[in-house]
Structure 1
Amino acid sequence: MSKLTATIFLLLLGAIITQAQNPADSKYDRQELMIPMRDGVKLNTVIFTPKAATEKYPFLLRRTPYGVSGAGAPDKGAYVKDLADDGYIFVYQDIRGRYKSEGKFEMQRFSRNKKDPKAIDESTDTYDTFEWLLKNIPNNNGKAGMYGISYDGWTTMQGAIDPHPALIAVSEQATPSDMWLGDDFHHNGAFRLSYGFEYAFMEEAAKTDSLFAFGMHDLYDWYLQLGSLANVNKKYFHNHIPTWNDFASHPHYDAFWQKQSLAYRLDSPRVYTMHVAGWWDQEDFYGPQKAYEVLEKKDRSHKNYIVAGPWNHGGWAGGPGNTLGNINFDKETGPTFRKDIQARWFAYHLKGKGDGNFAEAITFQTGSNVWKNYTSWPPAEAVKQNLYFHPNGQLSFDKPSAPKAFDSYVSDPAHPVPYRSRPIEQTYGPGSRWRTWLTEDQRFVHNRPDVLSWQTDVLQEDMAITGQLWARLFAATTGSDVDWVVKLIDVYPAEYPQDRKMGGYQFMVSNDVFRGRYRKSFEHPEPIVPNKVETYNIDLHTINHVFKKGHRIMVQVQSSWFPIIDRNPQKYVPNIFEAKETDFQAATHSIYRSAQFPSHIELSVMK
């Protein structure tokens, strides 16, 4: 693994592998070999087996597109050290078409036609791998588990769809569930430009990971100079990056995206499944929550569980997990997950150790900074309460009474609001702050004329928000399309003696973006009638956060988030990937806060 590839891999998976491949003092032996699949394609696989076999061991498999030849001994890295101390046979595999594995790579390969006995997919490759391992690796106990983060979490879910009989328990961690509705490449139809561009190139320009050569450090300027998305193929990719071609060919939520989603592929949970999410996962926060939700609807055997903590993408896998960016959580959450949750999970299901007493939902409540257990997720006991927009930037639980009232701003695609403070480095490039941008102080945009803010009075008591959030906007625009970015923010006291640099800090605890053309249907977009008040219901997902006494609750609304989100022309065009430079126009957007149109945030409050 090159230094560049290792850097990318560490960024992707939270510094999981940092040790030598197989140091002499490791308790594990290492071998690397090719395992044949049913169609003759062979997959590169690294296997670590305990040196002093004192029992028969279960398998733990991780399948990845990021390269396994550099994988270190499992007892020498934080992510699975507690598991390695218990004793397992660890198996790491390059998926089809990546690194040393044969075959053709397809991004999130579609599920096979089960009527075709020769068809393959990630599920059959997983099945065939277990079949070979059981027959060829000695001292196994006939049981297996899977785990992995991000794409590796997705391959874990694919292995659990049509599981091998030996597969008993899995832990998908930060799996993407729907690349159009809420994960890496789109959110509610808004295209995640910088991530989609850079990740597609990284995975598909070559068989091994590589970075695009931008030639500048602050990519805000590069993406602004790019202009229309049509220039990507015209100037750079030349139709050679399949995933980018899919972006451009499928701008709406059509059968392509629907069939790729886990909601389309999943049925009832067939193995014990633990979903893991980070509250500030900058890539796949939606995914594990959605996977849990889909399986939970048909979970008749109590096999479906969820864990959420104060982490970014893969942040539970290495390090103490006591801070993220400037935010301090007072305790080490990483070791708690790795030892008390992950290791216990597999020890019980694969080795019969422990009591098997796992809460339906284990979540870390930020603000109070304590772990909480729940019998359902979101908790059924949470009470819905609306926080309304009022004049003079006020938020209140009182419904507005004014007959006609709104706040307006001008959004200009030529001057988009940056999604994080500049410079905006390459996502996985040197010095990138991508991993912590969701915890950045939002004061860097607070006084921009194209960002609206409302906040409560100082809270007189703690308020625990636990469960589902919605933004209910009543809004109008002078254009025929619009993006709405909504952020729920914890505003620290102006004077904060515990840590003076946090005085007045605007800590974003929930957010998302919604592309206005999809307000009625994700499959069939419609232009917006200029100056007509429309309703926008924006899913802000779930949180578990306590707004402490002395803090304030703030909501910010804006219409660009660049370049993580592509610029909306604000003039309706059938396919934004084909927009012309002349289609981009400034527009005035209005958020209503009247008795008839009471824009608000719908909270889930724990009494």
Structure 2
Amino acid sequence: MSADAADMGCLAISPTSEVGPTAAPMTRRTMLALSGGAAVTLMAGIDGALAAHSNAAVARNVRVPASDGTALATDLFFPAQGGTVDVKRTYPTVLIRSPYAHLGMAVDNVALSFCARGYAVAVQDARGTGRSEGAFEPMRNESWGRHRDGADAVAWLIGQPWSDGKVYAWGSSYLGGAALLLAPMNLPGLVTGFVENPAVNLFNSGWVYRDGLFCQATVLFWTAMMASQALRAQSDQLAAPPTPSAPAAGSENAVQLPDPAILARLPADMPLDQAPIVKQIPFYQNWLEHRDDPAFFDASDLRSRYGKVSTPLFHLVSWFDLFLNSSLDSFTGLSAHAATPEARAGQRLVIGPWTHSFDPTPGLRKFPGSEFNHLAAAAAWFDKQGRDVRHPVFDHKVIHYVMGANRWRAEDSWPPQGIRTTAFYLRSDGLLSIEPPRDDKAADRYRYDPADPTPSLRGQALMGGSVDQRPNEGRKDRLVYTTAPLDQDVEIAGPVRFTLFASSSATDTDWHLKLIDVFPDGTAYNLTSGAVRARYRKSRTAPTALTPGAIESYDVDMMATSNVFAKGHRIRVVIESSDYPYFDRNPNAFVDLARATSADYVVAEQQIHRDAARPSRIDLPVIPAHRERRWIDQPFWEDRSVAFALTPPDMRKPDVRELAVADLPKG
């Protein structure tokens, strides 16, 4: 064990096995959250599917060839009666492509749930992970990248004698990205996809970068978790199938993985490109090197390909997920620009008040009536698209949970129609008001020291959620603007933007903005947020230094939300210059950010301008009080036809009868 690893508390991982504890074990909850948005859905079905395992059978490790000859390991599940598969019939197939087999986080229980509805299921290890051959390059080999592994899988499936020629893509987080990226390929046999919190558009989604900021906590957590797979290409042998134990620390191929909570917060004198463990990972170094190069991330970016999509898709996303914008962009882009009228009309969107893992994490704000049976919804969606089975939920184009009201509402579009964009201006004495400023000159000041960054308090992140923001209230490196107590309810639903006029004494800096609902007792819950890195104010691909003291304008995307600020509550905006460790800290210097250390840190004097000529403001999508509201019953919660567990009780694979390849159905 290296000295730095020993000091940080470690897990040992190997290029040929899964994670195992040595000093500071990664918790099961942490691994679930890191490994995919459907951490819950990945293990969904435990309540019912485990008990019903005799109703499915599986052929393990079927070698499916990619177009370049690489063998992709695939587990094929089939519906069965008493463990017996009808070998004379054909089956529709759900395709799930995952890089997480090495963590023992198999999606067997998801497969069993779909089998219970009559679907065969193909669970495939992504290239370079689990039992599949090749090198792992995140989101670069799914569809139109260097390789076409997802497309090759669909083609192989519909060519099997047991296939009825119909394939349905399902997934969440990485798995959801893999499913979504199939859509513009116009693949024969691909009927639809059910896509949850999709990990697409790595250049700006919040996984690797968001508006030019490096998503430090997410990237370091996730890359360390995937280290054993990424380093396999440097090993002399292909990784063996996952086993319950890891090699002892210090064995030949062992890698020391710092505890995730520690890894996220790098020492001030350690640059990003020297972060423990992840510095060895080729794709991590590539991400740093191509910080300003969107072309490098093109294989994960759907936005220029909306016009090629001819399939309906179901988009499921969380208000507090890092991929919120990815889902909203995909839904709105495809609703407007998909290749056919049927595809444009066939998009559906559901937004709930969950985290990335859909997990009711202790300490987060609770939202009554927000539970949602993801697998029941997916099965019903597949039944609608392939079997023409109507479900009333799909009569609505958009369904979203309105926080504050704590109810579900249906809309005809996103953003909702009838929004009244209302500006709330920054005023003197920390007031937020709909009255614009009239001052000739007015500004508020604070000092930002990169050596003491403002701590992250949830938000739209991998470990996101809504939480009381008061722990940061005593800090001096932030500005707070709050309305008077509201004399009536104010409802917002839609995108939020901030127009900021600011100056800094530094040559580079960051501006972080939060929208907060302040309760009468002072509890302050975050709703949504945005950030901008000053060097990218003119161009995301051609950064330029600030002129110290020069006033610049920034148009800040604060994603979206849906909330009722109740009578007596207050609307609050917070401005800071860091959100650490969710995002990397800006040294306040126009330097190479991948190599910056504490030697580059500059204490910045920040000014936020709020006069008549430079009226800094937040634009909120207000829903007028007189607008009709279509409240609906809580969707997909009473449907128990597909089992669902909110918190997986264990991570064991279910006991399913195994088939030899020779015994696969013949059709």
Q: Is the 8 A contact 2:107 2:123 kept in 1?
A: no
Question: Residues 40, 373 of structure 1: CA spacing in aligned structure 2 closer, same or farther, 3 A cutoff?
Answer: same
In 2, distance between residues paired with 1:404 and 1:229?
A: 40
In structure 1, the residue corresponding to 2:177 is in which secondary structure?
Answer: helix
Map of 2:437 onto structure 1: 400
Distance 1:9 1:449, change over 3 A: closer
Provide the rounded CA distance (Å) in 2 between the counterparts of 1:164 and 1:221.
Answer: 40
For the pair 1:262 / 2:302, whether they are aligned, the reply is: yes
Q: 2:396 aligns with which of 343, 359, 366?
A: 359
Matched, 1:45 2:74: yes
Equivalent position SS for 2:507: coil
- Give the SS at the match of 2:219: helix
Out of 318, 331, 334, the residue aligned to residue 292 of structure 1 is 331
Which position in structure 2 is the counterpart of 1:278?
Answer: 318
Aligned match of 1:152 in 138, 151, 175?
Answer: 175
- For 1:270, what is the secondary structure of its paired residue? coil
In the alignment, residue 29 of structure 1 is paired with which amino acid? A
Alignment-derived partner of residue 376 in structure 1: 413
Alignment counterpart, residue 227 of structure 1, candidates 270, 291, 299: 270
**Alpha-carbon distance, 1:267 to partner:** 3.1
* 8 Å CA contact retained: 1:269, 1:303: no
In the alignment, which residue of structure 2 is the partner of 1:67?
101
Matched, 1:349 2:378: no
Give, in angstroms, the shift of residue 218 of structure 1: 5.5
Instruction: Show CA shifts across 1:271-294 (max 9, x none).
Output: 11111110011x322221222233
How far apart are 1:366 and its partner, in Å?
1.2
Deviation of 1:489 after TM superposition, in Å, equals 0.3
Deviation at 1:393, TM superposition (A): 1.1
Give the match for residue 482 of structure 2: 455
2:648 corresponds to: none
The answer to which structure, 1 or 2, has the higher relative contact order (CA under 8 A, 6+ apart) is 2
2:32 aligned to which of 7, 10, 25: 10
User: Contact conserved, 1:486 with 1:513, CA < 8 A, in 2?
Assistant: yes
- Say which is worse superposed, 372-381 or 204-213, in terms of deviation: 204-213
Q: Which residue of 555, 577, 580 corresponds with 1:559?
A: 577
The alpha carbon displacement at 1:601 in A equals: 0.4
Q: Answer yes or no: is 1:571 the counterpart of 2:602.
A: no
CA contact (8 A) 2:502 2:609 kept: yes
Mapped pair 1:127 → 2:166: no
* Amino acid corresponding to residue 118 of structure 2 in structure 1: G
> Cα–Cα, structure 1 residues 580 and 533, in superposed 2: closer, same or farther, change >3 Å?
same
Structure 1 pair 184–25 and aligned structure 2 pair: CA distance change class (3 A): closer
- Compute the displacement of 1:412 (Å): 0.3
Residue identity matched to 2:353: P
- The 2-side partners of 1:68 and 1:194 are apart by 21
The farther-off stretch of 589-598 and 127-136 is 127-136
Distance 1:405 1:445, change over 3 A: same
Cα distance change of structure 1 residues 137 and 549 upon mapping to structure 2, 3 Å threshold? farther
CA contact (8 A) 1:476 1:591 kept: yes
* 1:141-220 → structure 2 map (5 Å cutoff): 141-206=164-229, 207=232, 213=256, 219=262
State the number of aligned residues.
Answer: 564
Describe how 1:497-536 pairs up with structure 2 within 5 A: 504-536=522-554
Q: 1:25 to 1:195 in 2, by over 3 A?
A: closer
Contact 2:269 2:599 survives alignment (8 Å): no
Q: Distance in 2 between matches of 1:73 and 1:256?
A: 30
- TM-score of the superposition, structure 2-length normalised? 0.78
Aligned residue type for 2:561: I
Aligned to 2:132: 101
Contact 1:481 1:517 (C-alpha < 8 Å) held by counterparts = yes
Counterpart check, 1:599 vs 2:635 = no
| Separation (CA, whole Å) in 1 of partners of 2:151 and 2:260 | 44
- Pairwise CA distance, 1:545: 1.2
Alignment partners' CA distance in 1, 2:417 and 2:267:
45
Q: Would you say the 8 A contact 1:28–1:73 is kept in 2?
A: no
Aligned to 2:65: 36
Partner of 2:495: 468
Structure 1 residues 324 and 90: alpha-carbon distance in aligned structure 2, compared to 1, 3 A threshold = farther
Distance 1:393 1:512 in 2: 20
> Closer, same or farther in 2 for the Cα pair 1:17/1:2, shift >3 Å?
farther
Note the residue ranges of structure 1 that are not aligned, 5 or more in a row. 114-118, 422-432, 495-503
Gaps of 5+ in 2: 1-16, 21-25, 233-238, 247-253, 625-667
CA contact (8 A) 1:278 1:285 kept: yes
Q: CA deviation at 1:161?
A: 2.2
Q: 1:588 aligns with which of 605, 611, 617?
A: 605
Structure 2 counterpart of 1:420, from 431, 437, 457: 457
- Which amino acid in structure 2 is aligned with residue 195 of structure 1? T
Please state how far the C-alpha of 1:391 moved relative to its aligned partner.
1.1
Cα deviation code 1:235-292 (max 9, x no counterpart): 7555x311221133122244223554222454342211111110011x3222212222
Note the alpha carbon deviations across 1:194-234, whole angstroms, 9 max, x for none.
322232232244358999846678638951344333543xx
Q: Contact 2:501 / 2:616 at 8 angstroms: preserved in 1?
A: yes
Q: Which one of 281, 303, 307 corresponds to residue 241 of structure 1?
A: 281
TM-score (norm 1): 0.85
What secondary structure is seen at the aligned counterpart in 1 of 2:221? Answer: helix
User: Aligned with 1:152: secondary structure?
Assistant: helix
- 2:464 and 2:137 map into 1 onto residues whose CA distance is 29
Contact between 1:175 and 1:288, CA under 8 Å: does it hold in 2?
A: yes
Shift of 1:371: 1.2
Query: Pairwise CA RMSD of aligned residues?
Result: 3.1
Distance 1:582 1:486 in 2: 27
The residue correspondences of 1:317-328 to structure 2 (distance < 5 A) are 325-328=363-366
The residue identity in structure 1 corresponding to 2:157 is: L
Could you tell which deviates more after superposition, 443-452 or 564-573?
564-573
| DSSP 3-state at the match of 1:333 | coil
Aligned to 1:171, the other structure's residue is in SS state: strand
Task: Name 1:491's counterpart in structure 2.
Answer: 518
Separation in 1, partners of 2:474, 2:27: 40
Residue 94 to residue 221, structure 1, CA distance change in 2 (3 Å)? closer
| Rounded Cα–Cα distance in structure 2 between residues aligned with 1:569 and 1:264 | 34
* Sequence identity (%): 27
Of 242-251 and 406-415, the range deviating more from structure 2: 242-251
> Equivalent of 2:160, from 112, 136, 140?
136
2:517–2:572 contact (8 Å) kept in structure 1:
yes
Q: Deviations over 1:566-605 (max 9, x none)?
A: 12111212x2113354321001111111111111100111
Specify the alignment match of 1:87 in structure 2: 118
Q: 1:190 to 1:436 in 2, by over 3 A?
A: closer
Q: Secondary structure at the match of 1:459?
A: coil
SS at match of 1:327: coil
Deviations 1:350-375 (A, max 9, x none): 22211574322111111111111111
1:64 & 1:73 partners in 2: Cα distance? 9
How big is the shift at 1:481?
0.9
Once the 2 structures are TM-superposed, how far is the Cα of residue 295 of structure 1 from its aligned partner? 2.1
Aligned to 1:479, which of 480, 502, 506? 506
Residue identity matched to 1:164: L
1:116 aligns with none
Specify the code of the residue in structure 2 equivalent to 1:96. Answer: R
Specify the SS of the correspondent of 1:86.
coil
